[in-house]
Amino acid sequence: MSEAPILKDTTRSSGREALQKNIQAAMALSEAIRSTLGPKGLDKLLIDDEGRTLVTNDGVTVLETAKVEHPVAKMMINASSTQDRIAKDGTTSTVILAGELLQNAWQLILQGIHPSTIARGYRKSEQYILECLPQIILESDEEIRKNVVKTSLAGKGYNSMQEVIASVSLEAVKMVAETNHSVDVSKIKLISQTGGKVEDSRVFRGLMLPKKRISSEMEKELVNGKILLVDGGLEKKNVSTDLKLNVTSVGILESFRQEERKLLFEQVDKMIEHGVTVFACRESIDDDVKNYLTKVGIQAFRRVSRSDLNMLARVCGARLVNSIQASSKNDVGDYNISKNVTIDGKDFWVVEGNGRAATIVAKGSTVDIVGEVERCFDDSLGVSVQLVEDGMVVCGGGASYVALARRLRRYAETIPGREQLAIEAYADAIEVIVRVLAENAGIDPISTLLDVVAEQTNTDSDQIGIDLTTGKPENMVKLGILEPQGIIKQALVGATEVAISILRIDDVLWAKQEMAIPDLPEDDM
């Protein structure tokens, strides 16, 4: 039977035509962010539907902000987002590598090599590269780690800005690192402030919240006490149903108010029984109990967001409860310090507990600058976490990609059949990083790549990359241009996966979209 009745409402593209269109879409996406790679990369100006602008050269920000409809392009963006989530850097490299792998695969397809053969060759290349990666990694010390974080910020801001962000990020991560070197990045809070210079950004030990105690008469600083966190409030309850009261005496209404105050005081008394000296809640605190809280020595904070309450719970070992009545002594946490401080004219509440925490105050002269600083801190914190947890680094400047490509070509000579061509195509593809770095720096990309390969071969060194300042091959360790091994590893894995997935697609079925007739507005009755 004919398949026409089944696919009558579907546009179909199959075989080489479908593959060509998919690769074209992937290449178009790769070309869109190619110019942002490296310290000499250029910025993109993004404008949304409401006319708001954003200037950045962060690859994943550009990709996730752009409106992309093609499903293959979305696959590439997902690979970049995964890279950002796992490694926090290398998002642009992932897309560029995937695009180059597909372009080289297309050249092989034109020579009559089947996509499945190319996919097998790519898979073997990936496995061999991951086996070779330990051969080029280096252990890091304090100075190397700082240089690695600065390398992750290359092309974002100016040198002194990179210096400050790298130092602050590493210090914050070390503050929350456990003895086994594990890091919970959710214990690092980032507060941004407009005004001042980026160099004024600082990190503080403990959790800092832009809050002040509800009364200036309360103790400004408390040490070694108990804290209760409530996902509710300490206030009079509103009647949830329609109710009419027939008041026959002036004293009845006052007795209602007295009873409400009594219930509030009873809740405070329960906190006293638990030994609570600091209280924070998500909703409001009634003015009727403010003086009573001050009298009994409880430091109180209201309208604290749920996310901040959860962070406080982790820092102090407390449990977030729905109400004071439902709380028990097991829900109460311990704090070391709870104090109010004023920084640059703004009030903050600082809490230190047994659970380690840190707060970064990021500054910038304008809203746009602050936004870029926040994105830089997000990247640098992710890289810092990798360095503290793992500590292994590889050379930047394209040196690691060239070193792996050299090994891959020697491996290809041992593989018989057409898969050898796919392995060589993979080696060519991963060298694209050096070419794009040079291209964005205004240096001849082909000559640069040849010079780096020749220098690595002649000196038998995997540490030779491109110095974009001079345009000459240099030792990346001496220049301090390094990056965590997890970034290059995840970039190669992500790019290979998405490239193979796209190569295996030989049929694209598009459902036809019928024109929708908008609903007419209803007549006013």
pLDDT of the residue at 507 = 78
188 and 300 share a domain? no
Tell me, yes or no, whether 448 lies in a domain: yes
Neighbours of 234 (CB within 10 A): 24
Tell me, yes or no, whether 323 lies in a domain: yes
List the Cα angle 142/146/147 in 5-degree steps: 115
402 and 443 share a domain? yes
- Pair 72, 59: CB distance under 8 Å: no
Tell me, yes or no, whether 4 lies in a domain: no
List the Cα angle 214/216/222 in 5-degree steps: 85
pLDDT of the residue at 524 = 45
348 and 444 share a domain? no
381: domain CATH number? 3.30.260.10
123 and 53 share a domain? yes
Strand boundaries in 344-481, DSSP class E: 346-353, 358-364, 392-395, 464-467, 472-475
Distance of CA 188 to the CA centre of its chain: 13
pLDDT of the residue at 71 = 86
| Domain end position, chosen among 369, 390, 411 | 390
Residues spanned by the domain of 173? 141-206+361-390
| Domain end position, chosen among 390, 405, 438 | 390
217 and 314 share a domain? yes
58 an active-site residue?
yes
55 and 118 share a domain? yes
3-state helix, strand, coil in the chain (%, to 5): 50, 20, 30
Question: Which residue in the list 56, 92, 359, 448 is annotated as catalytic?
Answer: 92
The DSSP element (H or E) to which 125 belongs, if any, is: helix 115-132
62 and 170 share a domain? no
Strand boundaries in 320-454, DSSP class E: 320-321, 333-343, 346-353, 358-364, 392-395
91 an active-site residue?
yes
182 and 304 share a domain? no
Question: Which residue in the list 36, 61, 91, 94 is annotated as catalytic?
Answer: 91
Tell me, yes or no, whether 517 lies in a domain: no
Tell me, yes or no, whether 95 lies in a domain: yes
Distance CA 450, CA 455 (A): 9
- Pair 446, 420: CB distance under 8 Å: no
| Alpha carbons within 13 A on the beta-carbon side of 268 | 23
Q: Tokens standing for 216?
A: 């200036």
223 and 344 share a domain? yes
Closest of 235, 283, 240 to residue 260, by C-alpha: 235
pLDDT of the residue at 515 = 45
Q: Tokens standing for 318?
A: 């407390």
273: domain CATH number? 3.50.7.10
Question: Which residue in the list 84, 89, 308, 379 is annotated as catalytic?
Answer: 379
Q: How does DSSP assign 404-451, residue by residue?
A: HHHHHHHHHTT--STHHHHHHHHHHHHTHHHHHHHHHTTS-HHHHHHH
Q: Which pLDDT tens digits describe the chain residue by residue (525 residues)?
A: 444 455 556 666 777 888 888 899 899 889 988 999 988 888 888 887 777 787 787 777 888 787 788 888 888 888 888 887 887 788 899 999 999 999 999 999 999 999 999 999 999 999 999 999 999 999 888 888 888 888 888 777 777 888 899 999 999 998 988 877 788 888 899 988 888 888 888 998 889 998 999 988 998 999 999 999 999 888 876 554 555 656 566 665 566 677 778 888 889 899 999 999 999 999 988 888 888 899 999 999 999 999 999 999 988 989 999 989 888 999 999 999 999 988 878 889 999 988 888 999 898 888 888 888 888 888 888 888 888 888 889 999 999 999 999 999 999 999 999 999 999 999 999 999 999 999 999 999 999 999 999 999 999 999 999 999 899 999 999 998 998 998 899 999 999 999 999 999 887 766 665 544 445 445 444
Distance CA 155, CA 414 (A): 40
176 and 228 share a domain? no
133 and 154 share a domain? no
Chain position carrying tokens 């038998």: 460
Number of independent structural domains in the chain: 3
Question: Which residue in the list 36, 56, 58, 359 is annotated as catalytic?
Answer: 58
Residue spans of alpha helices (H) in 231-305: 250-273, 290-295
Tell me, yes or no, whether 520 lies in a domain: no
Torsion of CA 49, 53, 59, 64, to 10 degrees: -20
Tell me, yes or no, whether 453 lies in a domain: yes
- Pair 108, 23: CB distance under 8 Å: no
481: domain CATH number? 1.10.560.10
Torsion region of 460: left, alpha or beta (phi above 0 gives left; psi -120 to 50 gives alpha)? left
Tell me, yes or no, whether 1 lies in a domain: no
427 and 333 share a domain? no
pLDDT of the residue at 520 = 47
Closest of 218, 410, 140, 401 to residue 149, by C-alpha: 140
Residue type, 107: Q
